[in-house]
Copies of this chain bind each other. A is one copy, B any other.
Amino acid sequence: MADEEIIGILRQCEVFASLALEDLTDVAAVCRNVRRAQRESLFREGDPPDSLYVIADGRIKILKHSSNGKELIVGFFGKGEMVGEVAAFEDRPYPASAEVVGEAHLLRIERADFVALVSRRPAIALRVMTVLNDRLRVAHDRLRDSTTERATQRIARLLLMLSRRIGPVLPFSREELGQMTGLTTETVIRELGVFASAGVVRSGRRKLVVVDPQGLVDLSETDIFPLSPPADLSS
């Protein structure tokens, strides 16, 4: 029965994991399996809110375009995470686009079904609230970083955040790291060059390995003392 596969997937999802079997079957009833290839998009910024997705497998990147043609990556999501939920509660256009990174297997839930579901099962609302909450914290942290910190600190903090979430191996291109921090590819490369010579990261093609997390913490906290060398602490 296909529903059992779906329930298995839902059990891995941050929003549905803690639900009782009865609730899960209720959710599964409105899910549809969907597969998408490399670079396909689930929805685009400005589209009317159609549905939301649970990621069964693969990675999805959420991005916003700016007036001058640049793109900002708002988030990367993977197995068990939900995307498109921001549009689910209000009938307003998607605020960002969602694009498949490698290949992805998803569960799709229609907006109307999800709204009905949440009203019927309050426990889901509580879980969704927590997810939104987390995303808001992350967004505000990044907002602070990108307005008040310099390139070195912004990159160091991004790498720290990513490695804490998905481990030391970060499967991102330089360009993507730039789009996550709001810096150009070139600046990212130059900063990573410094990080690498300090032995904090090792770099590869579309990949970056965090070797020394504490080193990143130091870099992310380093204030710049324009004319004086780092204070001598031994005296």
User: Which residues of A are in contact with B by a Cβ distance under 8 Å?
Assistant: 64, 66-68, 70, 72, 74, 86, 89-90, 95-96, 118-119, 122, 125-126, 128-130, 132-137, 139-149, 153, 181-182, 220-221, 223-224
Cβ–Cβ < 8 Å partners of A182 in chain B: 146-148
Q: Is the CB of A143 within 8 A of B142?
A: yes
Please classify the interface of chain A as helix (H, G, I), strand (E, B), loop, or mixed, using the class held by over half of its residues.
helix
Instruction: Pick the residue among B96, B133, B145, B221 that contacts A132 (CB under 8 A).
Output: B133
Cβ–Cβ < 8 Å partners of A136 in chain B: 86, 132, 135-136, 139
Considering only CB atoms, which chain B residue lies closest to A69 in the complex? B223
Considering only CB atoms, which chain B residue lies closest to A121 in the complex? B122
Known contacts A90-B130, A95-B141; 11 further A-B pairs (Cβ under 8 A): A66-B145, A66-B148, A74-B144, A86-B133, A89-B130, A95-B140, A132-B132, A139-B139, A139-B140, A143-B146, A148-B182
Q: Is the CB of B86 within 8 A of A149?
A: no
Cβ–Cβ < 8 Å partners of A146 in chain B: 143, 146-147, 182
| Complex CA distance for A66 and B145, rounded to whole angstroms | 8
Q: Is the CB of B72 within 8 A of A147?
A: yes
